[in-house]
Chains A and B, each alone.
Chain A
Amino acid sequence: MKPAPFDYVRPGSLEEALQALAGHPEAKVLAGGQSLVPLLSMRLAAPALLVDINDLPGLDHVRADADGVRIGALARHAAVLADPDVARVQPLVPLALADVAHATIRNRGTTVGSLVHADAAAEMPMVLRLLEGSIDVAGPGGRRTIPAAELYVGPLESSLHHDEIAVEAFFPALPAGSGVAFEEIARRHGDYAMCGVAAVVAVEGDRVVSARAGYLSVSDIPVVVDLTEALDGSVQPAALAAAADAALAQLDPETDIHATADYRAHLARVLTARVVTAAHDHAREEQR
């Protein structure tokens, strides 16, 4: 399993990288390569040109401030995961990152790369959607911001243009009075999950004032469901069941060799209850 031949450039500036992409409709951007290289080796993809952006300056940043977390295109998952400020500002980011593949893959793979790879079975695209974050992309016409809601348009398909490079991701900070939780169930530790759910729950006192959950591996693009109405303020079993019903109405799990659609739906139900409860508890702790 060896890649087909391709041309290769490793530009030293964003401008050069964009120029290289502009001239080549069949070019692909190489950052961490942890998803791309296997596709190349299996010859499932054969781009004419690889634009290696690993030398671009100023893109390996991880910055967390009151607004949220900004992650540069060359920041590795491991760097984001290890950053204590990220965990403080938006704890859902490290919670989910810890389940992204294995540590060795996280040492090379980039969070932004994972976001624009747009895999509905991956953790970070779902988290970006749930948190209503965004991606900044640079293109021939300058820079633009793509909100997560507009980023995922189809299976493994983002709304990035082929001549654009994602340069930064933004995950909004966790608002006061809110809590988060994440859980996924995979066949083996480190595998793509059969189902994964994250939740953001805001409380006033013990009462849920808003609750949203994100789902992975149970639809062909990352799905976020607002559970506020279904919960009606509570996290009691009946409310959780109603929330799971509301979620399942918007999910479309499929059967594959690892799990049936029924089982995935069941997991979505179980995990919805678990993460909503956990996010609620987290929010209560944050209040104290």
Chain B
Amino acid sequence: MGQKVQRVEDDRLVRGAGRYVDDVAPDALHAAVLRSPHAHARIISIDVDAVLDVEGVHAVWTYEDLEGAMAEPLPLLIPHPTLTHGRTQYALAKDEVNHVGEAIAFVVADDRYVAEDALARIVVDYEPLPAVVGIESARSGDRLVHDDVPGNVAASMEQSNGDAPAAIAGAPHRLSLDLHIERSACMPMEGRGVVARWDPDQGRLQVWSSTQTSTGVRAAVAAKLGLDLGQVDVITPDVGGGFGVKIVHPWPEELLVPLAAQRLGRPVKFTEDRREHFISAAHERSQVHHVEVGFDDDGRVLGLDVRFWHDHGAYTPYGLIVPIITSTQLLGPYKPGAYRVRFDSLYTNTVIVTPYRGAGRPQGCFVMERTMDAIAAELGKDRADVRAANFIQPDEFPYEHGLIFQDGRDLTYDSGDYPAMLDKIKELVDWDGFESFRAAKAAEGKRVGLGLACYVEGTGVGPYEGAHINIETSGKVKVATGLTSQGQGHQTAFAQIVADELGVRFENVEITTGDTRRMPYAVGTFASRAAVMSGSAIHLAAKRTKEKALRIAAEALEADIDDLEIVDGVVSVKGTDTSIPLGTVAVLSNPLRYAFDEASKAATQFSVGDPGKPPVAEDDEPGLEGKDFYSPPRSTFASGMHAVIVETDAETAEIRILKYAVVHDCGHLINPMIVEGQIHGGVAQGVGGALYERMAYDESGQLLNASFMDFLMPYVTEVPTSIEIDHLETPSPLNPLGIKGAGEAGVIPGSAAIAAAIEDAERAVLPGFGITAMPISPSELFALRAAHTPRDAQESK
């Protein structure tokens, strides 16, 4: 723990020997999906006749070919009492399509080329319907996405603590703000993919999916195909990035591919292409917010009232997780005197919205931090001081917000030290020296600005994860945990935990993730939960394994357990030469007395077990194994602060990041190298979300930039040349390792901090200039400058 250990995953991956889902089953048939070209249309007819005589085509299905549970809508994974009008799509569209890209027909052919040839021959007769695109259009309710959902509202929710409107009305200062964040998406480099093989000899289905939850996919496939859970194995191989989108399940293809494998008796593969990923996976982030805030002369927030509208796209398979997170995590490290939040979750004829790294927090952070900056500007105070005046103090933990979090539990922060963190970030970015830096740059004719944003992130949400550890007779330690990996280095970090607890060599620990054959009980990798949940479970399972090893070793060595220690996989009596390797202990743990290898021969010198009792005691099991589950009462809350310095070009309005500083607190660090890698990646996505990436829909619901050519993910040339990181370690009291999640953190305050920095740079020249929507492009900054007349500047003074 705590060491910058190099990753065990890498040797394989840098040799090109990784196994991603498209790499397995080279003998598979290939599937392709016909997708709606319309955002909203009724399907009058589908004619597949022309496909049937295409050589190499094995199947072509439409909704009419689906039966039983497969013909029902896909599951609504996370229902909520306020989600009164939840709707999900069918695996293949029935009568109506609600976004460009919705699956209509499914073809299986010899290869993907032929499958796409077949798609081109399918004739669909559509009756186009008016499309609802964007929050304005959805909110007006003039047009409906679903005929039976009035006003396009799937859910309305309200939470409050205290009487915010009254507190605002009575406050010495009041402000209102309208704030907007646009759509973006996870965009992992590997799209979705699934392979299935039906084994008629065993009556078993084997599924590989590029997913963030193998157990979820397994349950969904079994339910939809009418199989027993025990007939379905789901294996998550190497996954080329997830960032949230791959937690959604089952995708239509995750059901259609296994069904095809079963019906055709051949392995079948679906590998999503990039355009498909844009129009048929998931997006996030689009929300419009209205803030009312009342505060005192020190900038202390007395009342905060937030109303927002969340665009969830055409369907709600993932429920209300994103807006619930915004509504609760918006509070960040602050404690407003009273708080009320209300949101509507709205249908639009666009791709579904599900969590993308940060999951509603970037929006919440943007809203809260823009509000803090507005308060500071109104009072003429230092922006950091206003934040400090609102912080929850270190002696106030656990801190109860009086709200319900996304996991259905109380929103209670477990630990943190926000004042100390603010000191660190101010030092890291040289907050106090900035005005002289600004003056020096101004003398060169350059505009620079400084922005700061703070956040708190609930991580490690339950309900549980488990781990199973088995020490083989070779001394190798085989560990299985059920959640999946998408590049986070779990095999390394988890092996570090096991090596530490068990006293074995790191190299002898082998971690398996996301394979339901090895660990059928698991939830998945999302919500920055893997290290906290599986890390803790693995720690607990290692403890159990160690206890058993010591018990058997004590008997074998005729020693007291308390006198034993395990170092490098060998149990010894402290301070003596008396010892026994763990591999031998493993042999002894299994009373199968065949000397099939050297280890079992060596074990015959030891005698364990009471000859008067059964070889396996009543409360024991054969094997040197340990299994345990970790299920915390509630989430653990990581936190962080970002500060950024930007330069905005006076002529061209180009925006350049000069400095990016991060202070991060995820409790104890398992592997600082991996944590910093997560922060780097998050910051780059934050920069992408702030300055480059957006989903550009036209009024008819066509996505205009469904390619990497026009959806502008940052290259190396668009990210800061260095990201300065400092850590604070406030351990979590909720888990045995004192850790908190780290996966999503880096992305959360990006838009908030960069907006603040750009605004600060512009205000030096254009007093009162404000940024209320992100992302922002040079073209938009140019337009904002043009719209910011001297008269506006006068008024805002």
Q: Say yes or no for A12: interface residue by CB 8 A criterion.
A: no
* Nearest A residue (CB) for B695: A257
Point out the residue from A3, A187, A257 that lies within 8 Å of B704, measured CB to CB.
A257
Count chain B residues whose beta carbon lies closer than 8 angstroms to a beta carbon of A: 29
In the complex, the answer to whether A188 meets B718 with C-beta atoms within 8 Å is: yes
For window 1-45 of chain A, which residues contact chain B by CB distance below 8 Å?
1-5, 42-43
In the complex, the answer to whether B718 meets A258 with C-beta atoms within 8 Å is: no
Indicate with 1 or 0, residue by residue over B668-707, a CB within 8 angstroms of chain A CB atoms: 0000000000000000000000001000100000001100
List chain B residues, Cβ under 8 A from A263. Answer: 653, 778-779, 782-783
Given contacts A260-B783, A263-B782, A270-B652, contact A191 B116 (CB under 8 A): no
* Nearest B residue (CB) for A1: B273
Q: Say yes or no for A63: interface residue by CB 8 A criterion.
A: no
Q: Say yes or no for B712: interface residue by CB 8 A criterion.
A: yes
Q: Most chain-A Cβ atoms within 10 A of its Cβ — which of B709, B712, B714, B779?
A: B779
Separation of A140 and B777 alpha carbons in the complex (Å): 49
In the complex, the answer to whether B117 meets A257 with C-beta atoms within 8 Å is: no
In the complex, the answer to whether A188 meets B782 with C-beta atoms within 8 Å is: no
List chain A residues, Cβ under 8 A from B777. Answer: 187, 258-259
B784 → chain A closest CB, angstroms = 11
Point out the residue from B652, B710, B778, B782 that lies within 8 Å of A257, measured CB to CB.
B710
Q: Say yes or no for B594: interface residue by CB 8 A criterion.
A: no
In the complex, the answer to whether A189 meets B715 with C-beta atoms within 8 Å is: yes
In the complex, the answer to whether B116 meets A258 with C-beta atoms within 8 Å is: no
Count chain A residues whose beta carbon lies closer than 8 angstroms to a beta carbon of B: 23
In the complex, the answer to whether A260 meets B651 with C-beta atoms within 8 Å is: no
In the complex, the answer to whether A1 meets B274 with C-beta atoms within 8 Å is: yes
Point out the residue from B692, B705, B782 that lies within 8 Å of A266, measured CB to CB.
B782
For window 747-777 of chain B, which residues contact chain A by CB distance below 8 Å?
777
List chain B residues, Cβ under 8 A from A188. Answer: 692, 712, 714-715, 717-718
Q: Say yes or no for B396: interface residue by CB 8 A criterion.
A: no
In the complex, the answer to whether A2 meets B112 with C-beta atoms within 8 Å is: yes
Q: Say yes or no for B654: interface residue by CB 8 A criterion.
A: yes
List chain A residues, Cβ under 8 A from B117. Answer: 4-5
Separation of A122 and B650 alpha carbons in the complex (Å): 26
Indicate with 1 or 0, residue by residue over A148-185, a CB within 8 angstroms of chain B CB atoms: 00000000000000000000000000000000000001
List chain B residues, Cβ under 8 A from A270. Answer: 651-652
Q: Say yes or no for A194: interface residue by CB 8 A criterion.
A: yes
List chain B residues, Cβ under 8 A from A146. Answer: none
In the complex, the answer to whether A258 meets B779 with C-beta atoms within 8 Å is: yes
Given contacts A257-B705, A259-B777, A266-B782, contact A191 B654 (CB under 8 A): no
B786 → chain A closest CB, angstroms = 8
In the complex, the answer to whether A43 meets B120 with C-beta atoms within 8 Å is: yes
Q: Say yes or no for B80: interface residue by CB 8 A criterion.
A: no
List chain A residues, Cβ under 8 A from B381. Answer: none
List chain A residues, Cβ under 8 A from B653. Answer: 263
* Nearest A residue (CB) for B275: A1
B374 → chain A closest CB, angstroms = 27
Separation of A5 and B712 alpha carbons in the complex (Å): 31
In the complex, the answer to whether A189 meets B718 with C-beta atoms within 8 Å is: yes
Q: Most chain-A Cβ atoms within 10 A of its Cβ — which of B120, B273, B651?
A: B651
List chain A residues, Cβ under 8 A from B779. Answer: 194, 258-260, 263
* Nearest A residue (CB) for B32: A2
In the complex, the answer to whether B652 meets A267 with C-beta atoms within 8 Å is: yes
List chain B residues, Cβ under 8 A from A185. Answer: 652, 654, 778
B219 → chain A closest CB, angstroms = 32
Q: Say yes or no for A262: interface residue by CB 8 A criterion.
A: yes
Chain A residues packing against B (C-beta within 8 Å): 1-5, 42-43, 185, 187-191, 194, 257-260, 262-263, 266-267, 270
Q: Can you sample 19 A-B contacts with CB below 8 Å?
A: A3-B113, A42-B275, A43-B116, A187-B692, A187-B712, A189-B718, A190-B717, A191-B712, A258-B710, A258-B712, A258-B777, A258-B779, A259-B777, A259-B778, A262-B782, A262-B786, A263-B779, A266-B782, A270-B652
Chain B residues packing against A (C-beta within 8 Å): 112-113, 116-117, 120, 273-275, 651-654, 692, 696, 704-705, 709-710, 712, 714-715, 717-718, 777-779, 782-783, 786
